[in-house]
Structure 1
Amino acid sequence: MIPAQFDYVAPATVEEALALLAEHGDEAKVMAGGQSLLPVLRMRLNAPGVVVDISRIEELRSITDDGDAIRIGAGATYQDVLDSDLVREHLTLLHQAVAEVADPQIRHRGTVCGALAHADPAGDVGAPALALDAQMVIRGSEGERTVPGSEFFVDLFETAVGEGELLTAVVIPKHTGWGSHYEKFVRVSHQWAIVGVAVTVRVEGGTIAEAKVGLTNMGSTPLRAPAVEAALVGQPASEEAIGAICAQVGEGTDPPSDLNGQADYRRHVAGVLTRRAVLAAAGA
């Protein structure tokens, strides 16, 4: 299907982009890599009057070391993230999850921040971002604010980014030396996750000292599993010790029921994937 007609602008600075958003209001739609927006436009699920392409804003393309954290700009593509030694060393979980995103063509165009702003609960970066305690940097006409990942995802396809604002970066604390694993269940290659589990753990002397677990497509937003995280702490990194704990990861979640599986099925799969991911992350 051909999209409805719209105007296209490609500002060179964040200030220009914000001015365009202020001028056009809810008629404007922001595009970074376009891998989420363009299918929506083609299906005419949205018909903006103007598309503001921020991919040419140079200051948004960087991935930098911020001391205790890594800052990923809104223009950095999935492939930029995969190619980054900083991400590979300090944010291994994110690196692993991004490697599971679609195919090379999409990874060379799509962006991590674009996926976060799109907020599809089946997307591969939301759960790892939550598990890594990401902070989202949002800029608007009144300045810049930082929103923790736990407050960023509001509902299905809805985030804390307000009208006239831009998600300009995600800042993620370093998890250097932590074990990590992203386990994704799909029926066919390159499919959206039916269920996904993002795990990072810090192991000391064969015992789990800290654990963080994020869930993909187990509700209307990406989720953390704090009860499972707390229960894993102090446990030996063995299947016998963690199996029953991981099986409870779906409790309290509200996954969808669709052609790929009913909610109860997804809860069961989430438990299986969590056990696998924790064992892999802990090196067991």
Structure 2
Amino acid sequence: MQEDFQLTINGLSYRVSGTPLKLSLADFLKSESIELSDGLVHEGHEGLLFFLIDFNASAGPVHRLIKPSRTSLISMAERELVAIDPRVEDPNESSLWVKLKAHNDSPEDEKVSLSKTISSGLEGLDDGQGYSLFSDHLCSVLRRNESGVKVSTRHRLTVPSAYQRLKKLNYRSSEGELYYRPGTVLEAIRLRVLRQGSCFIGSELFAEDQSPGPGNAVLISLDSVEELREIIFEDGNWEIGTGITLRSFAERLRNEFPLIDDFCKRFTDTHFVNRFTVLEEFNSTGSGSGILTVLLTLGASAVIDGLDERRTMSLEELLYEETLSAVGEQELITAVTVPGSGGSKTLTSYYQVMEGPYEKVPIIRASFLVELDSKDRVSDSRMWFDAGSGLPIRFDSAEKLIAGRPWTRELQQQISAVIGSGDGIAGNLGLSSNFQRVLIQNLLLKFINEQLGDPGPGAHEFIDLESELTVRGKE
């Protein structure tokens, strides 16, 4: 059981010894000197951007933007990071800076500096909202090493210095806490059984439900279990390891499922989407990411591995009939399977509604899927939403209402008429707020109108009032 470890920043090793598990990367770096490039040294982490060299679902190296204050130091053990100072622009390259091509609306030969791009994006914003799109572009450019990129010759970002998967780790903290990073699912489950009071953790070590306590001082990380970080297509189904980050999940499947593409476009918290995993959604006590709503809409199933056997059940059955308590201490949800798109015409959309442009927690998330037969009649549909707390709710009354009907403008008019009369179609959903009932019905109308194309003259029109979902009758 080791009592120290190291991490690498810009090619230099930093040794860590005897620190408590809840120490953040930011706390550790406060008293450290970070060499940026060509001898320039920066004291502490403030003002710097940090990229974690990670691996995507295809085992390729990628650069993920992280926030040190939200990253546990122990999760960076034996990991490699790159630090950039976006505030410094030096044509002599005395700091690590990158020049990118301007956006499409700028002249082809115009260049935009890294410092100017990030500084303008960060102004007045928090948690990556300002530079989420930029960081995606930066990572893509670094992977491809495009000719438009100019980087310091000392710290090349295109290939990690140690091209290998994450190693196993057994660590004892200064407070006697034990941290395990096993290499296989079987090892992880055995540790859970043998170590009393142990629990599996994800990337968000600071979450209240994962904080080490008197009876919970043994933490088991699944970061180095390769089989949990794979996405495989077999026998017409996609098998998605639950150790996959939301970013890798979206990057691999967004072209296969437009609904997933819709889902990942809604993210504004870059650190969250780069570090949060599918498994953490099952263990979350908060509002989560909304990925369960998407998986339920896609008809996903859960794969549960134990010491002696593997079993599979539909995600809906697991969450609503068996409940997560059905997953025993000797078991782990290792994957979710999603059926591939069939031959039928499928219409999908995902919506996320905030109270205002700077809010972080949605009022509601909704996911719609409708399948049409050869005559453009609704042959199947799945509609799920969550209202910010608890498990997603199935909009089964709407599914029954549109079942077997032709997908035409007449359907939109029929739905509008039902919504406008009495309790509409959301009265049996158990929502305490009338506003939420109105909102989910309006989202259904929005979905139908968008899928039918230009709504043309009708009984309702949408007006843009932050949520974009307020509906009023035409005068």
Distance 1:7 1:148, change over 3 A: same
Structure 1 residue 8 corresponds to structure 2 residue 174: no
Which residue, 225, 236, 258 being the options, matches 2:395?
225
- Aligned residue for 1:96, secondary structure, equals helix
The 4+ residue runs of structure 1 with deviation greater than 6 A are: 42-47
Partners in 1 of 2:283 and 2:265 — Cα distance? 19
Shift of 1:240: 1.4
Alpha-carbon separation, structure 2, partners of 1:195 and 1:50: 36
RMSD over aligned Cα, in angstroms? 3.1
Question: Does the residue aligned with 2:430 lie in a helix, a strand or coil?
Answer: coil
Q: Distance in 2 between matches of 1:129 and 1:46?
A: 36
**Structure 2: gaps (5+ residues):** 1-20, 24-174, 455-475
Answering whether residue 446 of structure 2 is matched by residue 280 of structure 1, we say: no
Larger radius of gyration: 2
User: Which of the numbers 368, 371, 389 marks the counterpart of 1:199?
Assistant: 368
Letter in 1 for 2:396: P
> Which of the residues 224, 242, 256 maps onto 2:415?
242
**Alignment partners' CA distance in 1, 2:429 and 2:191:** 39
TM-fit CA distance, 1:121:
5.4
SS of corresponding position for 2:333: strand
Q: CA deviation at 1:29?
A: 1.9
Q: Which of 12, 28, 35 matches 2:198? A: 28
Task: Decide whether the 8 Å contact of 1:30 with 1:52 is kept in 2.
Answer: yes
Q: 1:29-61: CA deviations, max 9, x gaps?
A: 2123x23x5322587899721111101111111
**Alpha-carbon contact 1:213-1:226 (below 8 Å) kept:** yes
TM superposition shift of 1:271: 1.2
2:429 to 248, 253, 266: 253
In the superposition, the TM-score normalised over structure 1's length comes to: 0.82
The answer to whether 1:17 aligns with 2:193 is no
In the other structure, the counterpart of 1:73 is 241
Deviation digits for residues 126-160 of structure 1 (CA, Å, limit 9, x no counterpart): 111111111011112232111211122249x9554
Shift of 1:112: 2.1
Corresponding residue number in structure 1 for 2:272: 106
Q: How does 1:80-229 map to 2 (within 5 A)?
A: 80-84=248-252, 87-118=253-284, 120=286, 123-154=289-320, 158=324, 160-175=326-341, 177-188=345-356, 189=358, 191-204=360-373, 205-217=375-387, 220-229=390-399
Q: CA deviation at 1:167?
A: 0.9
Question: Percent identity of the aligned residues?
Answer: 20
Hey, which of these two has a bigger chunk of helix by percent?
1
1:224 deviates by 1.7
Render the CA deviation track for 1:202-231: whole Å, top value 9, x for unaligned. 235554332210111277311222231122
Q: For 1:237 and 1:114, how far apart are their aligned partners in 2?
A: 40
The amino acid of 1:50's aligned partner reads V
- Does the CA contact (< 8 Å) of 1:140 and 1:166 recur in 2? yes
Contact 2:292–2:392, Cα closer than 8 Å, also in 1: yes
Q: Note the 1:51-62 alignment, pairs <5 A.
A: 51-62=219-230
8 Å CA contact 2:395, 2:429 repeated in 1: no
Which of structures 1 and 2 has the larger relative contact order (alpha carbons within 8 angstroms, sep 6+)?
1
AA in 2 matched with 1:195: I
Change (3 A) 1:102 1:210: same
